Structure 1
Amino acid sequence: MKISLLLQLSFITMLVVFLIDSPVYGHCLGDQKALLLKLKNGLTFDSSRSTKLVRWSQNTDCCQWPGVSCDQKGHALVLELDSEAIFSGLENPNQSIRSSIPMELSRLTKLMFLDLSNVALKLERGDLQTLVGNLANLRELYLDEVYISLKRIGWCSTLSSSLPQLRVLSMTDCGISSPFDPVLLNLHFLSVIRLDGNNLSSIVPELLANFTKLTNPQSQ
């Protein structure tokens, strides 16, 4: 009887220690919630059409918010704001990423997946660098239909120098008319690239052949 009781107590003790030391999935860190809420408050969006941002609340765990996924420690890893009725940036030509996408986004440095596609945003000179400059862990970037006004090879050099881990790049219908520069070859892990709907003034297929890991090249 005593041995059985000791075994039960030992098991309970081990279980308590395990639960205390184990990471809590989906439990948002305070600083991550604060950054995401500041991001939301800095955006202009139609709440009647929003399905994600409109449901972000101080009273709920940010790892449970639609469009947000976290790692074991509560850092935001995934941010999906595609088709979120965000419209700040295009109505006023003097606005840029600093007013339509607050700096808090660039401070979510653990992000591995970012989707801002199909929202009415405009990235001008320096804005793309502001957006991705601190996101060195990013694996997938979706900016489809985000108007990118960068002269010459600015977009190529910015992405290649800022996102060394990038696997997927999707920038269809972004209004890019600058050259497709070989500097993108520095993205050694790139396996998917989508640039349809842009006017790229270079021979893209020849350059794409140099991406050794490319499995899904799409560009026109």
Structure 2
Amino acid sequence: MGISFQCLEDQRSLLFELKNDLIFNSTRSLNLVLWNQTQDCCNWDGVECDGVGHVISLQLDWEGISGGIHNMSSLFSLRYLEKLNLAGNDFGSQIPGGILNLKHLMHLNLSDAGFRGQVPIEVSLMRRLVTLDLSYRLGYNSLEIEDLNWKMLLQNLTGLRELYLDGIHMSSAVLSQQFFISLLTFHI
């Protein structure tokens, strides 16, 4: 359960819009299914707010979400988010470039989330990231990192301390020893 602060109305509206936009299995959902517009959204399961009432953490892992997230999703208007966990779902689409709108994001977990295609260059522009998990352990994964994106990821994410890329297809990426010295945890 989230920390008890008063939810701001715009944050509640964005979260409820997100819930309505997502396709999720209500029998598997432990959080989304319980979100109720009459309750303070800072008390919703999977939601954490700061002292002002901005949503700073969203834990939607293993919620039975399927279908993609489009670039105009209300998710990307939750601009104070510091932690986003979408692990264990089945989005079946590319990671949307709209993720760049989450400028305060420090912890991003997209592991086993069914994203496909190229990891967007926008991820390399998220300079506050401390933890990035794109790993895939469940069956076949078609998430890829090309040389150019890999190099930008290494150059730009200077604050990154944990990087999980298990199961990701990487083209002949040149791994920089200097980059890995700064990481506390690295998995490929």
- What's the TM-score once normalised by structure 2's chain length? 0.87
What SS does structure 1 have at the residue aligned with 2:186?
strand
Distance 2:177 2:81 in 1: 26
Tell me, yes or no, if the aligned pair for 2:145 and 2:168 is still in contact at 8 Å: no
Q: CA deviation at 1:176?
A: 2.1
Q: CA deviation at 1:25?
A: 5.0
What SS does structure 1 have at the residue aligned with 2:176?
helix
- What's the TM-score once normalised by structure 1's chain length? 0.75
1:172 corresponds to which of 126, 129, 135: 135
Distance 2:181 2:5 in 1: 36
* Mapped pair 1:30 → 2:9: yes
Question: Relative contact order, CA 8 A, sep 6+: which one is greater?
Answer: 2
* Mapped pair 1:97 → 2:66: no
Larger radius of gyration: 1
* Mapped pair 1:150 → 2:122: no
Please name the residue that 1:92 is paired with.
none
Please name the residue that 1:216 is paired with.
185
Cα 1:50/1:136, change in 2 over 3 Å: same
Task: Give the aligned residue type for 1:158.
Answer: E
Q: Deviations over 1:97-155 (max 9, x none)?
A: 22xx861100000000000011010333xx5212x12101000000012233334xx53
Q: CA deviation at 1:58?
A: 1.1
* Percent of aligned pairs with the same amino acid: 34
Q: Deviations over 1:66-114 (max 9, x none)?
A: 1000000000000000000112x2xxxxxx422xx86110000000000
Distance 1:200 1:46 in 2: 32
Distance 1:218 1:111 in 2: 25
In structure 1, the gaps of 5 or more residues are 1-23, 90-95
Distance 1:186 1:139 in 2: 14
Q: Which has the higher helix share?
A: 1
What is the CA RMSD across the aligned residues, in angstroms?
2.1
2:168 corresponds to which of 198, 205, 211: 198
Q: Which has the higher strand share?
A: 2
Distance 2:171 2:128 in 1: 26
Q: Deviations over 1:183-212 (max 9, x none)?
A: 1121110000000012212246x3354244
